[in-house]
Amino acid sequence: MSNFLLSQGYERGETDKTLFIKKACNDIILLRVYVNDIIFGSTNDSLCEQFVNAMQREFEMSMMEKLNYFLRLQIKQFQHGTFLSQSKYCRELLKKFDMKNCKEVVTPIATGCYLDTDEKGSNVDQTKYRGLIGLLFCPTASRPDIMFSVCLWARYQAIPKESHYMTAKRILKYLKGIIDVGLWYPSKVSLNLIGYSNSDFVGCKIDRKSTSGTCHLLGSSLIS
């Protein structure tokens, strides 16, 4: 499939090899390939029609309806914008860890929470802990607000302690309180890329280096 797309004038993404881009005058079409599923969009409907016809001639493929679910992402498309969320996945996550009725919290990490290796703490099953961290990485696609916390607890996957596991589950309590929150991408807005950072000097208890949080917005939409 990759060879065919390249022969049709598409260019492969330099960072994401599953992304293919084709430009025609002032228009563009983008494809994202995942195994045997493809999502695509264009600034010109005729480019979409050409792509569909070319793929159906070359491969045994069927055209599905407008995108509404892809890789655990729920997509709602409106005339004035697109909304991405993962409420279904988050509900499944809460059920898996028996936290459907847990108490909600307003932040994914407690104020004043300083984690360390907790060498004297009780060990917890590595598979159990790594499973939680791995499953929490998925909702970061629509919830960048938990990315920092998930990455923080991911540091302790080698020798996880009970304290790490219990505090990591706080992220689930946070998600429960705002389970239907997602990302809103309005149409017809500026696509300027803006970044913000926040430095915390020698704030890490382990290596005493500066830690920082960052966020990037494409127009008015948070992307990382």
Residue range of the domain that includes 134: 87-222
126/191 same-domain check: yes
CA atoms of 139 and 129, how far apart (whole Å): 17
**pLDDT (tens digit per residue) in 150-170:** 988 998 998 999 999 998 999
Q: Please indicate, yes or no, if residue 74 is contained in any of the structural domains.
A: no
Q: How many structural domains are present in the chain?
A: 2
CA atoms of 21 and 8, how far apart (whole Å): 11
57/139 same-domain check: no
Q: Is the dihedral of CA 156, 162, 165, 169 positive or negative?
A: negative
Find the mean pLDDT for residues 111-115: 78
91/58 same-domain check: no
Q: Please indicate, yes or no, if residue 171 is contained in any of the structural domains.
A: yes
Most confident by average pLDDT, 102-116, 121-135, 186-200, 206-220: 121-135
Check: CB of residue 128 under 8 Å from CB of residue 136: no
Residues in the chain: 224
93/176 same-domain check: yes
105/56 same-domain check: no
136/186 same-domain check: yes
Q: Please indicate, yes or no, if residue 75 is contained in any of the structural domains.
A: no
Give the pLDDT of residue 162: 92
Question: Is residue 64 scored above 90 in pLDDT?
Answer: no
44/101 same-domain check: no
122/200 same-domain check: yes
Check: CB of residue 163 under 8 Å from CB of residue 194: no
CA atoms of 86 and 179, how far apart (whole Å): 8
171/130 same-domain check: yes
Q: Please indicate, yes or no, if residue 23 is contained in any of the structural domains.
A: yes
Q: State the maximum Cα–Cα separation within the chain, in Å, rounded to a whole number.
A: 64
Give the pLDDT of residue 76: 94
**What is the percent of the chain where pLDDT is above 90?**
60
**pLDDT (tens digit per residue) in 175-211:** 999 999 999 989 888 889 999 887 776 666 666 666 6
127/208 same-domain check: yes
